Each structure stands twice: as structure tokens, then as C-alpha cells.
Amino acid sequence: MCDEHNDLSLQLYDEACKKIHAGDFADAIQLFRRSLELEVNYKSLLHLGRCYLELGQYREAIVPLAAATTLNGQGIAPYNLAIVMQNLGDLNFALKLSELAVARQPDLRRARILMEEIKMKLEEQK
């Protein structure tokens, strides 16, 4: 029974990734959600959050990206969550997340760039 769930979860994940490549983020979201009902995993959470981000649904992106940040020690999930928080106007939290992304993955150049952009915006607000 568990193997059937894992196989179906993987199949749904693969279908969702195809939807992403086709630019169909709304359908991808539904497939990732169904996949996650069967098996929670980092990649599905990360991609689900990215789909919400691509659609500008920032609040919906928070939970899957926060969960992905917890499940995996790489920098890409906190980097994406930093983008979400920046778009929601929470620059202080976005800065902390971008710093976490850089600490976890020092070679993640886009996280460094984002971190510097956020620092500049915070300086402008002073």
C-alpha cells in the first residue's frame, strides 16, 4: 500500500513538473498538493511554493517554502522565501532569510545579490 502511495506521489510530482515547464502554474499547484497528500517531501514543497510565487500568491507560498526550508539544509528554499517576504514588504525578515540562504549555500549568487538589494532598500528607509 505504501509503495502505491509513493508511486502515485512520484507520478503526480512528475506531471506537476511538466506543467511548470509548460508555464501552467495553477495546474501544477493542484498536482503538487495531491502529491503532498500522499508523501511530504522537500522538492514538492519547494516547487509548490515557487508556483505560488510565480503567480504572485505570496501568502500561499509561505507555508510550503517555510516547510521546505526546515526539511532541507540548502539555500534555495530560504532564498525563495526571502523573495516572498520582500514582496510582502517585510524587508527585515527577508534580509534574515537571504542571510540564511547565503550561510547555507555560499555559492548561491542570486541569494547574495538579493541580500545586498534588501540591505540597500533598508538603508533607503532610514
Amino acid 11: pLDDT = 95
Q: What is the mean pLDDT of the chain?
A: 95
Give SS3 for 1: coil
Mean pLDDT over residues 71-95, rounded?
A: 98
Q: What confidence score (pLDDT) does residue 66 get?
A: 98
Q: What is the mean pLDDT of residues 96-104?
A: 98
For the beta carbon of residue 84, count every other beta carbon within 10 angstroms: 24
d(CA 42, CA 23): 21
Whether the pLDDT of residue 1 is over 60: the answer is no
**What pLDDT was estimated at residue 6?**
83
Contact between 101 and 73 (Cβ < 8 Å): no
Please classify residue 56 by burial: count the beta carbons closer than 10 Å to its beta carbon, then call 0-12 exposed, 13-18 middle and 19+ buried: exposed
Long-range contacts of 57-60 (CB under 8 A, 24+ apart): 58/84, 58/87, 58/88, 59/88
Q: 2-125: what fold?
A: 1.25.40
Whether residue 2 is predicted with pLDDT greater than 80 in this model: the reply is no
CA nearest to 44, candidates 16, 23, 5, 24: 16
**What whole-number percentage of the chain has pLDDT above 70?**
96
pTM of the full predicted structure?
A: 0.93
Question: Computed over its alpha carbons, how large is the radius of gyration of the chain?
Answer: 16
| Mean pLDDT confidence for 67-73 | 97
What does the domain layout of the chain look like in residue ranges?
2-125
User: What is the residue whose three cell numbers read 511548470?
Assistant: 20
